[in-house]
Amino acid sequence: MPANLRQKIWSFALIVLFFGGWEVFCLASGMSDLILPRPSQVFETLYNRFPVLWPHIIRTISTTLGGFALGVALGVVLGALIGVSRVAYDTAYPLLIGFSSIPKVAVVPIFVLWFGSGEVPAILTSIAICFFPIVVNIATGLATTEPELEDVLKVWGASKFDILWNVGLPRTMPFFFASLKVAITYAFVGTVLAETVASNRGIGNVMMSASSNFDVPLVFVGLFILAGLGVLLYVVFSLVEGRVTGWATRKNDIAAA
Amino acid sequence: MQTLGQAAQPSVILADEPLRAIELSAATVTFGRGDKAVPALSETSLRIADGEFVALVGPSGCGKSTILRLVSGLVQPTRGVVIVGGREVAAKALRIGMAFQNPTLLPWLTIEQNVMLPLRIVQPFRARYRRERRTTFRDKAHALLGQVGLKGFASRYPWQLSGGMLQRANLCRALIHEPRMLLLDEPFGALDQFTREELWSILQDLWLAHKPTVLLVTHDLREAGFLAGRICVMSARPGRIIDDSPVDFARPRTIAMTFEPEFVTLNQRLRDLIVHTRSLPAEREN
Ligand SMILES: Nc1ncnc2c1ncn2[C@@H]1O[C@H](COP(=O)(O)OP(=O)(O)OP(=O)(O)O)[C@@H](O)[C@H]1O
Ligand SMILES: [Mg+2]
């Protein structure tokens, strides 16, 4: 515990040092705030404009969570379909890899073409970005059941569904939650990406219009909000992961102690 | 779930019928086809009566595990007939317990929950699982854990137990659904000599208490002699049974007995048979 606490204090100190260094650098070099505003200016702008920014924050969060939820649902279903059979796994993998290697910026214009600008392309973009790690992790978790255990279960008369429910899915949980952390970050990236390109609301859009007005502090406010939200979402899912799949990490803790 | 349970009733009644025997008649198993065909078992015949404890020994790769997979219905014979419990093999209708060298306990379940896993899956327990998992079923699990000396470990997780303890829990899991037949594939292969001997006695006690038909595959001839009522020796691949000897020492047997001259003589004879049937002269058993 003390080691843990010390690490937290150091992390916090590093953050303070980062912002302090930035502030000092700007003051010392006389940097124009049209190029790099000081953190204090950014926080001040954040405080002053907060009432205006709030609806955009809400919009970005709701789009992210919406895309994330749908992406996870899609990912789980596809992952389960692919993971239950070796043949399906091997067959579908190349297609998935192909899909995942498309840069997602490239699909935003297509979604805009189909659905106009607004929330729909943003949700679709975040789905498109975030479902892939879920599929891979679920499918891999399911496809790697120990053959001996599978034999034992079959001898008990377990159906495919029994095996999936009692062994496949629980075993997949650590993979699943690890992928959730990645997926929520991706969904967030997808949302902001689409907001930047084609939307009239959301933090991405705020940053876009601020930059065309040369309101540089506001651009940085957007950046700070995005960083804060990203960390928040990551932390929430890390906590959930720790509660649900402690068994996967506990062994290492004991060995290390 | 409930209605599924009811639908499966007829086969459950068949499963409860005492097994007359395991009967392999000229069973041949070939894996793969054409050029890549691997003959694993050639015209093997073997009869085992209900309640017998039979050990299967033989050189590595001779098809011992394949026989277990045949009996459990995981593999179908390429030729020949496999009859288990008086019917041609259809694993699902039979109640079989199985344990391998690797205990394969599920890391996210406690020992108690692991031991109770078959009850979640095998009928007729499955239909009653929700109602009885905290009462009768748990008592059952605790009783078995007590028999193997794991009384205080029911609510621990597998990673908190040693290899020997995991293997004991594995035996409990193999027995909890009251199988009439127990198939063991080198269950103690990964354990040290002392733990192994300890588990022999535990397995012997479990067998004396429940009297299932046991088919034990092992590389350890002392283990076979200590536990089995009959030892079958297999030839090198493709395997056949080349020797079938009864082991008549009185039960319960003791570790000290394995050092008596009669036992050593039996051991020696089996050893010679296996060494002879191997294509390579070297022998890895002690
Ligand atoms: N699924 C399979 N596909 C192809 N060949 C197989 C398969 N399973 C087993 N074999 C082959 O069949 C032969 C017998 O295998 P088996 O596992 O029954 O041997 P074993 O007597 O249990 O050996 P060991 O003592 O080393 O465990 C081996 O030569 C093996 O290579
Ligand atoms: Mg084997």
Is the predicted pLDDT of residue A128 greater than 60, yes or no?
yes
- Which of B72, B75, B104 to probe the A interface (max A CBs under 10 A)? B104
The stretch A126-139 carries a mean pLDDT of 86
The interface predicted TM-score (ipTM) is: 0.78
Question: Are B233 and B46 contacting, i.e. CB atoms less than 8 angstroms apart?
Answer: no
Residues in chain A: 257
Is the predicted pLDDT of residue B17 greater than 50, yes or no?
no
Average pLDDT, chain B: 82
Question: Are A125 and A194 contacting, i.e. CB atoms less than 8 angstroms apart?
Answer: yes
Closest residue of chain A to B89, computed from CA coordinates = A155
Q: Which of A219, A152, A227 is nearest to A189 (CA)?
A: A227
- Tokens for A234, please give them: 């990551």
Measured between alpha carbons, how far apart are the two ends of chain B, in Å? 51
- Which of B65, B113, B117 to probe the A interface (max A CBs under 10 A)? B117
Give the separation between CA B141 and CA B153, rounded to whole angstroms. Answer: 11
Give the separation between CA B275 and CA B278, rounded to whole angstroms. Answer: 5
Question: Are B141 and B117 contacting, i.e. CB atoms less than 8 angstroms apart?
Answer: no
The stretch A130-134 carries a mean pLDDT of 87
**Type of residue found at B235:** S
| Phi, psi angle pair for A85, to nearest 5° | -130, 135
Handedness of CA B276, B277, B280, B283 (dihedral sign): negative
Taking the centre of ligand 1 as the mean of its atom positions, its distance from the CA of residue B31, in whole angstroms, is 9
Q: Which of A93, A124, A98, A87 is nearest to A109 (CA)?
A: A124
Q: CATH 3.40.50.300 region(s) of chain B?
A: 1-9+18-30+38-94+180-280
Answer whether B222 touches A (CB < 8 Å).
no
Give the separation between CA B104 and CA B185, rounded to whole angstroms. Answer: 13
User: Given this model, what pLDDT does residue B282 score?
Assistant: 38
User: Given this model, what pLDDT does residue B10 score?
Assistant: 38
DSSP A228-246: HHHHHHHHHHHHHHHHH-H
User: Cβ A154–B159 below 8 Å, yes or no?
Assistant: no
| CA distances from residue B239 to A38, A143, B266 in whole angstroms, order as listed | 80, 32, 22
- The angle at the Cα of B280, spanning B279 to B283, to the nearest 5 degrees, equals 120
Question: Is residue B80 in contact with ligand 1, taking CB distance under 6 Å?
Answer: no
DSSP A21-53: HHHHHHHHHT--TTTS--HHHHHHHHHHHHHHH
pTM beyond 0.80: no
Is the predicted pLDDT of residue B55 greater than 90, yes or no?
yes
Rg (CA), chain A: 22
Is A38-247 a CATH 1.10.1040.10 domain?
Answer: no
* SS3 label, residue A220: helix
User: Given this model, what pLDDT does residue A1 score?
Assistant: 58
Question: Are A223 and A108 contacting, i.e. CB atoms less than 8 angstroms apart?
Answer: no
Higher pLDDT, B258 or A104: B258
Comparing A215-224, B34-43, B85-94, the range with the smallest average pLDDT is B85-94
Question: Is residue B38 in contact with ligand 1, taking CB distance under 6 Å?
Answer: yes
Strands (E), B110-237: 181-185, 213-217, 230-234
| CA distances from residue A32 to A142, A207, A210, A216, A217 in whole angstroms, order as listed | 55, 19, 17, 10, 11
Q: Which of A63, A68, A42 is nearest to A201 (CA)?
A: A63
Higher pLDDT, B83 or B171: B171
The stretch B263-276 carries a mean pLDDT of 89
Domain spans of chain A? 38-247
Domain at B1-9+18-30+38-94+180-280, CATH class: alpha beta
Answer whether A253 touches B (CB < 8 Å).
no
Atom of ligand 1 nearest to the CA of B64: 21
Atom of ligand 1 nearest to the CA of B62: 21
Answer whether B102 touches A (CB < 8 Å).
yes
Q: Quote the longest CA-to-CA distance of chain B.
A: 59
Give the separation between CA A187 and CA B185, rounded to whole angstroms. Answer: 48
Give the separation between CA B36 and CA B53, rounded to whole angstroms. Answer: 35
- CA-nearest residue, atom 23 of ligand 1: B61
Answer whether A160 touches B (CB < 8 Å).
no
For a ligand 1 pocket test, name from B42, B44, B64 the mutation site with the most ligand atoms within 8 angstroms of its C-beta. B64
Answer whether A218 touches B (CB < 8 Å).
no
Taking the centre of ligand 1 as the mean of its atom positions, its distance from the CA of residue B76, in whole angstroms, is 14
CA distance A161 to chain B (A): 11
CA distance A145 to chain B (A): 10
User: Cβ B108–A247 below 8 Å, yes or no?
Assistant: yes
- Which of A148, A149, A155 to probe the B interface (max B CBs under 10 A)? A155
Residue-wise pLDDT tens digits, A26-52 = 999 888 878 888 999 899 999 999 998
Q: Which of A243, A241, A133 is nearest to A189 (CA)?
A: A133
The stretch B5-15 carries a mean pLDDT of 40
